[in-house]
C-alpha cells in the first residue's frame, strides 16, 4: 500500500522533517505555508511582488505569470484566516500550482479585522479587480476571463463580491467566468462566533450580509469544494448556497475532497502534495471547463 510519508522520506532525505510536518499538520496557516513554500518549484513562471493596487499598505498583490501561451486566463486568489490574519507571501505555492497549468495568478492582501469589518475587505477585492483590468497591458495579463478563487474567509469574500447588498456593478463583473470556493462559509450567523465575530458589525443581522441572501441570476460557473474532515466550517454552508444558486437557475457544483481538513484542503493544491490528494486536479478540471472550453 502506498505510503506518502515514506515516499517523502525516500525522495527528500534530510528535508523530510519539514515536509512531514507540513503534510501531517497544515493546522497552522503560517507554519504550513512556510514549509510548503520552501520546496515550491521556482521554474515555469515569473513573479512580481508587492504590486500596489491601492494607496493603503495592505492593498498589495503578488502576480504569478505563467510561461505557457498568451492571453492566459487570470485567477484572483483570496486567502483565508478568519478575516483576521493571513498574508499573500504565504501562498507562493498557490501561484505556482496553477501557473504551471497555463493560468496567471494574482494573490491579494486585504484589510483585516478587527480594525476593519465587512465590507472593507470585499471593497479591497473590488479595487484589486479594477486595478488589474485597467493595468492589464502594463502587467502583461489578460482580464478577458477571470476566475475568483478563495479559501475559507477568502471564499466568503469572493462570493460577497458578487452577492451583497451593495452589488459590485463594475464592467469587470462581466469578465468573471467562474467562482472556486474552497471550504467557504456562505450562510451562517456570526454573532457569538469567536472566530468570525470581530470581522462583522454585531449590530447588523447576518441576513443582511451573507451572500446566500443576495444571489442573482448569472452565467458564472460556481464550484464549491468541501474538505471531508472539516471541523471548522460546516458543509451546510455550501449546500445551502448551492440550493439558492440552483433556485435562481445558476450553475453550481459541490465536491467533497477526501482525506482533507479545513486547512489541508488548501495546502493540498501544492505541487509537493497534489499527487496525494484530488484537490488540484478537481480544481483544474473546473477551471478548464469554465475558462478554456468555451
Summarised one tens digit per residue, pLDDT across range 255-285 is 999 999 999 999 999 998 999 999 999 999 9
70's grid cell: 498568451
Contact 15, 22 (CB under 8 A): no
Express each pLDDT in 219-234 by its tens digit.
999 999 999 999 999 9
The answer for residues whose C-beta is within 8 angstroms of residue 248's C-beta and 6 or more apart is 215, 216, 217
pLDDT band at 9 (very low <50, low <70, confident <90, very high): low
> At which residue does the C-alpha cell 440552483 appear?
246
pLDDT at 53: 98
The number of folded domains in the chain is 1
Question: CATH number for the domain including 262?
Answer: 3.40.50.1820
Answer yes or no: is pLDDT of 24 > 50: no
Tell me the three cell numbers of residue 78: 483570496
Q: Read off the pLDDT of residues 29-84 as tens digits, 9 standing for 90 and up.
A: 444 566 677 668 778 899 999 999 999 999 999 999 999 988 899 999 999 999 99
Domain holding 94, by residue range, is 44-291
Identify the sign of the CA torsion 216, 81, 107, 68.
negative
In a domain, residue 13? The reply is: no
pLDDT for residue 14: 53
Q: Is residue 269 part of a domain?
A: yes
Confidence class of residue 85 from pLDDT cuts 50, 70 and 90?
very high
What does the mean pLDDT of the chain come to? Answer: 90
For residue 18, tell me if it sits in a domain: no
Helical ranges in 103-225 per DSSP H: 120-134, 136-139, 153-162
161 assigned to some structural domain: yes
Gap between the Cα atoms of 271 and 11, Å rounded: 14
CB atoms closer than 10 angstroms to residue 82: 20
147 contacts 107 by C-beta, under 8 angstroms: no
| List of residues 6+ apart from 243 with CB closer than 8 A | none
Phi-psi region of 192 (alpha: psi -120 to 50; beta: other; left: phi over 0): left
Give a yes or no: residue 285 inside a domain: yes
pLDDT of residue 294: 58
Please give the Cα distance from 32 to 1 (Å, whole number): 26
End-to-end CA distance of the chain: 40
Judge whether 24 lies within some domain: no
pTM of the predicted protein model: 0.89
Flag whether pLDDT at 131 surpasses 80.
yes
What pLDDT is recorded for position 269?
A: 96
Cis preceding linkage at 281, omega within 30: no
25 within a domain of the structure (yes/no): no
Residue 22 lies in a domain: no
Amino acid at each position: 500500500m502506498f505510503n506518502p510519508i515514506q515516499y517523502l522520506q525516500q525522495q527528500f532525505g534530510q528535508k523530510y522533517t519539514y515536509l512531514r510536518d507540513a503534510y501531517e499538520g497544515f493546522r497552522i496557516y503560517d507554519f504550513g505555508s512556510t514549509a510548503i513554500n520552501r520546496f515550491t518549484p521556482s521554474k515555469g513562471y515569473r513573479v512580481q511582488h508587492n504590486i500596489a493596487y491601492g494607496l493603503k499598505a495592505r492593498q498589495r498583490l503578488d502576480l504569478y505569470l505563467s510561461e505557457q501561451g498568451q492571453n492566459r486566463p487570470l485567477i484572483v486568489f483570496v486567502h483565508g484566516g478568519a478575516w483576521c490574519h493571513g498574508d499573500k507571501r504565504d501562498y507562493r505555492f498557490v501561484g505556482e500550482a496553477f501557473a504551471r497549468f497555463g493560468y496567471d495568478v494574482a494573490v491579494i492582501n486585504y484589510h483585516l479585522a478587527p480594525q476593519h469589518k465587512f465590507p472593507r475587505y470585499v471593497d479591497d477585492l473590488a479595487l484589486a479587480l479594477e486595478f488589474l483590468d485597467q493595468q492589464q497591458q502594463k502587467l502583461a495579463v489578460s482580464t478577458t476571463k477571470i476566475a475568483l478563487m478563495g479559501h475559507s474567509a477568502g471564499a466568503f469574500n469572493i462570493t460577497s463580491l458578487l452577492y451583497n447588498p451593495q452589488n459590485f456593478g463594475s464592467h469587470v463583473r462581466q469578465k468573471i467566468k467562474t467562482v472556486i470556493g474552497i471550504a467557504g462559509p456562505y450562510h451562517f450567523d456570526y454573532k457569538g462566533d469567536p472566530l468570525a465575530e470581530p470581522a462583522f458589525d454585531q449590530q447588523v443581522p447576518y441576513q443582511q450580509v451573507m451572500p446566500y441572501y443576495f444571489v442573482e441570476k448569472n452565467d458564472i460557473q460556481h464550484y464549491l469544494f468541501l474538505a471531508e474532515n472539516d471541523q471548522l466550517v460546516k458543509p451546510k454552508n455550501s449546500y445551502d448556497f448551492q440550493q439558492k444558486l440552483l433556485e435562481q437557475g445558476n450553475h453550481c457544483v459541490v465536491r467533497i475532497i477526501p482525506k482533507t481538513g479545513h486547512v489541508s484542503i488548501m495546502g493540498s493544491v501544492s505541487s509537493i502534495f497534489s499527487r496525494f490528494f484530488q484537490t488540484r486536479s478537481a480544481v483544474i478540471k473546473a477551471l478548464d471547463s469554465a475558462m478554456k472550453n468555451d
